[in-house]
Chains A and B, each alone.
Chain A
């Protein structure tokens, strides 16, 4: 059940219910010398930490990050130095524990300046591991190893993001497919949704194995596969003359790959290793090409329909 809840939470279903109230929580039977962990008030972040800390007597200081996870909240400024200092004061943490040490998730470091927290609150920030599952090992050794500090982007990490992408891309793709179907083009209808799925699901799943460094190229590659299938289907349709069939096949070859490329380019925002500078350059290189290809494909498709109707 918890797993299902987590899937729904990622997909953003009733997002407000995935918030934990900010404040100081006790886990087990903590005393004045027990460690203090800092967390976001996104239920998934909080649960991951709580599960990893099972059997450890400690405090969890939950910040108000508007129900957003640690890394994104830190990037957007709600998991911040100000919020941490405010929450320390608000909860009276200095009177609860005798030590002055906070264990802050490493990925919060984009929003929290450790030296400033110390100046303003007296608490020293220690950055814990990226993954909550490494916390016990971290507690035993007292520091993070190189391995604990590195962000990965494994198949599992990527797979959980696919429903998130589907939520924004699929309705648009299905809408366009429905229009194409109603317009009497079932190949385009199937192709548009297949190209979109190959971009938002196929590219994340197959990321390391697809050619190119740019996400757009990876998307063009998978979308090209979908386009190939659609083009073959168009050529085999014997209800029209060869030139018309060729134009129709070409229209799919132009229209479908950029749909996949566009969907996969959007996935850069979810990746854990693309830089905004790189994404901006990728957009500069490909977005106009994508728009041009899709527009020409659409024009060719309409043209062959007109030609077909004129002959029929």
Chain B
């Protein structure tokens, strides 16, 4: 099921140490491990969960991950505020 193609995922292959963990933890097959080396194969599938960046020891991956609670975000949009903390 496709969704908004835009996300905040950034990957710098030069920093990659070829551990392959990004491909292991991604729930949407965004990364593929090429003998350990991360290759970004489906960036538009990224849901910004942040698992790859969290487990990347060299900081080669960056993504603004956030808990996507729509009602909190909507309240912010209605009130013209930007703060988004998640409901429990």
Footprint of B on A, CB under 8 Å? 72, 74-76, 106-107, 109-115, 127, 130, 144, 146, 149-151, 153, 207-208, 213-214, 262, 265-269, 272-284, 287-288, 291
A76 contact from B29, B55, B78, B86, Cβ within 8 A: B86
B15 at the A interface (CB under 8 A) = no
New A-B contacts (12) at CB < 8 Å, excluding given A112-B54, A275-B47, A278-B3: A75-B65, A106-B27, A109-B25, A115-B57, A130-B27, A262-B74, A269-B71, A274-B47, A277-B4, A277-B6, A283-B73, A284-B77
Give the docked Cα–Cα distance between A273 and B28 (Å): 8
Residue on B nearest A268 in the bound complex, by CB: B70
Residues of B within 8 A of A213 (CB): 1-4
Q: Decide: A153 near B1, CB < 8 A? Known: A110-B65, A287-B78.
A: yes
Q: Is A275 a contact of B27 with CB atoms below 8 Å?
A: no
Q: Is B25 a contact of A150 with CB atoms below 8 Å?
A: no
Q: Is A113 a contact of B55 with CB atoms below 8 Å?
A: yes
Give the docked Cα–Cα distance between A115 and B24 (Å): 14
Q: Is B27 a contact of A151 with CB atoms below 8 Å?
A: yes
B60 at the A interface (CB under 8 A) = no
Give the docked Cα–Cα distance between A277 and B48 (Å): 8
B26 at the A interface (CB under 8 A) = yes
B25 contact from A76, A127, A283, Cβ within 8 A: A127
Give the docked Cα–Cα distance between A269 and B3 (Å): 13
Q: 0/1 per residue, B50-88, Cβ < 8 Å to A?
A: 111011010000001111111101100110000010100
Q: Decide: A275 near B48, CB < 8 A? Known: A110-B65, A153-B1.
A: yes
**How many residue pairs between the two chains, A and B, have CB atoms under 8 Å in the bound complex?**
130
Can you pick out 22 interface pairs between chain A and chain B where the beta carbons lie within 8 Å of each other? A72-B67, A106-B27, A109-B55, A110-B54, A112-B54, A115-B57, A150-B27, A208-B1, A213-B1, A265-B70, A267-B70, A268-B68, A274-B68, A275-B68, A276-B48, A276-B66, A277-B7, A278-B4, A278-B6, A279-B68, A280-B84, A283-B73
Within the complex, what minimum Cβ distance (angstroms) separates A70 from chain B? 12
Q: Is B55 a contact of A114 with CB atoms below 8 Å?
A: yes
Residues of B within 8 A of A153 (CB): 1
Instruction: Determine the main DSSP class of B at the interface with A.
Output: loop
A150 contact from B2, B8, B29, B78, Cβ within 8 A: B29
Sort chain B's interface into a size bin: 35 or more
Give the docked Cα–Cα distance between A268 and B70 (Å): 7
Q: Is A144 a contact of B24 with CB atoms below 8 Å?
A: yes
Interface-central residue, A127, A153, A267, A284, by most chain B CB under 10 Å: A127
B49 at the A interface (CB under 8 A) = yes
Give the docked Cα–Cα distance between A288 and B74 (Å): 10
Q: Is A283 a contact of B74 with CB atoms below 8 Å?
A: yes
Q: Is B57 a contact of A106 with CB atoms below 8 Å?
A: no
Q: Is B26 a contact of A149 with CB atoms below 8 Å?
A: yes
Give the docked Cα–Cα distance between A150 and B55 (Å): 17
Residues of B within 8 A of A291 (CB): 78
Q: Is A273 a contact of B77 with CB atoms below 8 Å?
A: no
Q: Is A279 a contact of B24 with CB atoms below 8 Å?
A: no
Interface-central residue, A74, A115, A146, A207, by most chain B CB under 10 Å: A115
Q: Is A272 a contact of B6 with CB atoms below 8 Å?
A: no
Q: Decide: A110 near B51, CB < 8 A? Known: A151-B27, A266-B71, A276-B66.
A: yes
Residues of A within 8 A of B19 (CB): 115
Within the complex, what minimum Cβ distance (angstroms) separates B68 from chain A? 4
Within the complex, what minimum Cβ distance (angstroms) separates A44 from chain B? 17
B24 contact from A106, A266, A273, Cβ within 8 A: A106
